[in-house]
Amino acid sequence: MKSVIWENSTLKLLNQTKLPLRIEYVNCKTHKEVAGCIKNMIVRGAPAIGVAAAYGMVLAAKEFLEASNKNFMDKLYNAGELLKSTRPTAVNLFWAVDKMYKAAKDNEEASTMDIALILEKAAIDIHEEDIALNKSIGAHGVKVVPVGAVIMTHCNAGALATAGYGTALGVIRTAFEKGILEKVFACETRPLLQGARLTTWELHQDKIPVTLITDSMAGYIMSQGQIDMVIVGADRIAKNGDAANKIGTYSLAVLANYHNIPFFVAAPYSTIDMDMASGDEIIIEERHCNEIRHIQDVEVVPEDIHTYNPAFDVTPNKLITGIITDRGILAAPYEKEIDRLFSKK
């Protein structure tokens, strides 16, 4: 099931808020519609958001074809700013929009029609490259997966969160294809249940054995010696290796450390933010309180109770055993490795 489809100048996004109950695509014909879909998590997961935003820039270019070149570039810039304002933590969004704007800027003397065509090709490249990167992450990551592995994961870092195959689930898929995976424990991932709704659904479709647990069960299951390793995705990795990912990831890393269980982060180069020295600088998205006040549209919290709903947390590098990337597995000290492998993105 593809999370993002580009067809006849329309962006089709699998509506991830409806899964697994309904399989529905939302059609976007304008960049504003794409921005709305990113904000409302119709499309989610750092790489998938980046791919969607790239196509959002193509739609913007097609909307502004009649503008003069100067106006066209200004309007394209503003469209990029709108797309970037939707979700602050996933760096892939900013990376993709900046890359698209640069492709236009490098060709600003061309006709608006030609710039739109250049952007369409650039977005398709970003889309196709992401699948290849994930396959590469899988090939590198499988080297640290023991035979008969039981792997815990959090949120959804799979095909749904990317252009296909997945990052953390890419490693899991490769291990399954090689016959060395016993099973996956998926944490449900409160409050939006990406683990319960998406990861279980995605793995089950590929017949990969998966057991669902609530987030609060992770420590107990680790203490019972049932977990060989934890693999999660990332929304932004700072130069020192600190990694932002779905809220609850940091707790899992602390638990894994206590129980001497290897804890890996899997992500493509587009998730590494070379401008951020450490995780302290990463902006953490705070989402609407109704996500935690309600369960399936029923309000379960007494009135007048304060709520706080950060959507991500940062796992400090010292709790990360290794960062599995498309260019290899990084070990501490991360800064040196990141500089060596990623200074030329």
Sign, CA dihedral 261-262-267-273, equals positive
CB of 290 to ligand MRU, least distance (A): 15
Residue 214: CB minimum distance to ligand MRU, A: 17
**What is the footprint of ligand MRU within residues 256-295 (CB under 6 A)?**
none
Check: CB of residue 258 under 8 Å from CB of residue 299.
Answer: no
Pick the binder of ligand MRU from 174, 240, 245, 270 (CB under 6 A). Answer: 245
- Crossing angle (nearest 10°) for helices 69-84 and 46-63: 150
Residue tagged active-site, from 235, 273, 313, 326: 235
Choose, by CB under 6 A, the member of 99, 127, 190, 246 that binds ligand MRU. 246
Report residue 153 as tokens: 């994961």
By the rule CB under 6 A, 253 interacts with ligand MRU: no
Distance CA 12, CA 10 (A): 6
Alpha-carbon distance of 168 to 156, in angstroms, equals: 8
Nearest to 30 by CA among 82, 99, 91: 82
Distance (Å, whole) CA 276 – CA 285: 17
Side chain identity at 76, as an amino acid letter? L
Q: Which of 162, 200, 240, 317 binds ligand MRU (CB under 6 A)?
A: 162
The interface mask with ligand MRU, positions 181-210, x = CB under 6 A, is -------------x----------------
Q: How far is the CB of 310 from ligand MRU (least distance, A)?
A: 11
Considering only the stretches 75-83, 115-123, 159-167, 180-188, report the one whose residues sit in contact with ligand MRU under the rule CB under 6 A: 159-167
- Packing angle of the helix pair 46-63, 112-141 (nearest 10 deg): 170
Among the listed ranges 57-65, 120-128, 154-162, 205-213, the one in contact with ligand MRU (CB under 6 A) is 154-162
Q: Closer CB to ligand MRU, residue 148 or residue 310?
A: 310
Burial readout 243-274 (b: 16 or more C-beta within 10 A, e: otherwise): bbbbbbbbbbbebbbebebbbbbbbbbbbbbb
- 114 counts as catalytic: no
Work out which of 233, 241, 248, 279 binds ligand MRU, going by CB under 6 A. 233
Within 92-151, the residues that bind ligand MRU by CB under 6 A are none
Alpha helices in the chain (DSSP H): 31-39, 46-63, 69-84, 91-105, 112-141, 168-177, 200-205, 218-223, 249-258, 290-293, 334-342
Is 35 a residue that touches ligand MRU (CB under 6 A)? no
- Of the two residues 119 and 319, which places its CB atom closer to ligand MRU in the complex? 319
Closer to ligand MRU by Cβ: residue 103 or 244: 244
Among 243, 311, 297, smallest CA distance to 271 is for 243
157 belongs to the binding site for ligand MRU (CB under 6 A):
yes
Q: Which positions touch ligand MRU (CB under 6 A)?
A: 44-47, 90, 155, 157, 161-162, 167, 194, 233-235, 245-246, 311
What residues act catalytically?
235
